[in-house]
Amino acid sequence: MVRRKQYSFLESVPERSRRVRFSIRSLSLLKGSISGSVPEYSHRIRFSGQSLEWTEYLISKLIVLIVIFSVYACSEKLTTTDESVQTTNQSPYIAKVFDYQYGPGQHASLITPNEKCNAFIGEPWINGKSFTYLGGWGGYIIAGFDHAVNNTNGPDIAVYTQPSVGSEPGVVYVMADTNNDGLPNDGPWLELKGSEYNNPQTIHNYQVTYYKPGTSGYVTWKDNQGKEGNLVPQFGTGSWWWGGYGDKTSVTFSGEKLPDAYANTSKDPTVQLWMPVSGLFRFGYAECYDNEDYNAKLKANFFDISSAVDAVGVPANLSKVNFIMVQSGVFQIAGWLNEISTEISGAADIHLLDKKSY
């Protein structure tokens, strides 16, 4: 009986792939099924003085080609530099907070002067985590992911709400790490354009300076539109001046001022009945409930990077972003509700979330 030679492809496969081993004898079933279809006269050929089965020879060569192709394909996939591929060791959630400034409001005394905003980092509401107060108009948080969030078809970023039931809209901005230094210092922030961007009551490039309370006990303010006033609480609270301002006697915020979110619908002057203004904030703002981009399962608003615009409203055409800023967008004291202040619980790269979660 002639001993059948085993063919190995190891020498023809790169060193990184030699962990894959294969023997032609492990394919005896496959060989038998194919050899039955080869004519009898072609079963044997004379090659280098040894008798080989024609079908075994063909199968061995075919297997070599298939496995080499598969190994190369898998290897290339694992070592790809395509930025559209996101690996599983990346966190979907915020990895770091770079800056936080509370806007004067009723919760100032609840926030430590050196607030680290740990509640905004990682998965929301786990291990007793709460939410982050942004305070009155202008208050903001700047944070980043541990990777670039790709702009794909549909929503890309989720911003988690408090959660509560009353919308307190926040404007969302994004930035790409174009200089690759891991810091949000890559030019101006780009706004994710929401439904009220072109509303006549929306003021772009708005600015307010708040002044530390004097003898009146109230925070006073002046804006760049020639208006000024006092922040007078309608419901008892402590000072609205945050200890995090240190020894400053004034703080200035810049951003976009959105239309008033609430209106007193009571016909009785002795009773207040504050209700959301109908038809506003349909999409594109943080902490907005029951609107078009609110996901009830995640308790988050969804945002599309494609909606990013520059300072004059021209589409930014971003392919990816690394950083996010959320800022309280409504400058209003709504009676006993006090200031309309955005409260949020973090953000996520939607592409890395389990689809079953939303």
DSSP secondary structure string for all residues of 164-211: -SS---EEEEEE--TT-SSSS-SSS-EEE--TTTT-TT-EEEEEEEEE
Same domain, 49 and 103: no
How confident is the model at residue 66, as a pLDDT?
64
How confident is the model at residue 185, as a pLDDT?
98
How confident is the model at residue 60, as a pLDDT?
66
Same domain, 137 and 45: no
| Strand-by-strand arrangement of the 140-150 sheet | 96-101, 140-150, 320-328, 170-175, 190-192, 308-309
SS3 label, residue 212: coil
Same domain, 248 and 112: yes
Same domain, 226 and 342: yes
How confident is the model at residue 63, as a pLDDT?
66
Same domain, 255 and 130: yes
Structure tokens at 58: 């063909």
> Is residue 122 domain-resident?
yes
Same domain, 116 and 212: yes
CA of residue 60 relative to chain centroid, distance: 50
Same domain, 137 and 59: no
Cα–Cα distances (Å) from 99 to 49, 117, 184, in that order, read 79, 9, 10
- In this structure, are residues 102 and 133 in contact, taking their beta carbons and an 8 Å threshold? yes
* Amino acid identity for residue 111 in this structure: I
> Is residue 90 domain-resident?
no
> Is residue 331 domain-resident?
yes
Tell whether the torsion through CA atoms of 25, 26, 27 and 28 is positive or negative.
Answer: positive
> Is residue 85 domain-resident?
no
SS3 label, residue 344: strand
> Is residue 84 domain-resident?
no
Cβ neighbors of 96 (< 8 A, separation 6 or more) are: 121, 143, 144, 146
Q: Max CA-CA distance within the chain?
A: 111
Same domain, 153 and 279: yes
CA of residue 38 relative to chain centroid, distance: 59
How confident is the model at residue 75, as a pLDDT?
44
> Is residue 168 domain-resident?
yes
- In this structure, are residues 244 and 113 in contact, taking their beta carbons and an 8 Å threshold? yes
Using 50 as the pLDDT threshold, list the residues of the chain that sit under it.
1-52, 71-85
Tally of domains in the chain: 2
Tally the residues of the chain. 358
Task: Determine the structural domain holding residue 286 and report its residue range.
Answer: 96-357
> Is residue 261 domain-resident?
yes
DSSP letter for 48, please. T
Domain boundary among 78, 107, 134: 78
Same domain, 68 and 28: yes
Distance between CA atoms of 187 and 308, rounded to whole angstroms? 14
**Phi then psi for 60, rounded to 5 degrees?**
-60, -45
Same domain, 69 and 104: no
- In this structure, are residues 343 and 188 in contact, taking their beta carbons and an 8 Å threshold? no
Same domain, 103 and 73: no
> Is residue 240 domain-resident?
yes
Same domain, 313 and 209: yes
Q: Is 255 left (phi over 0), alpha (psi -120 to 50) or beta?
A: left
Peptide bond just before 14 cis, omega within 30 deg: no
How confident is the model at residue 42, as a pLDDT?
41
Extract long-range pairs of 226-230: CB within 8 Å, 24+ residues apart.
none
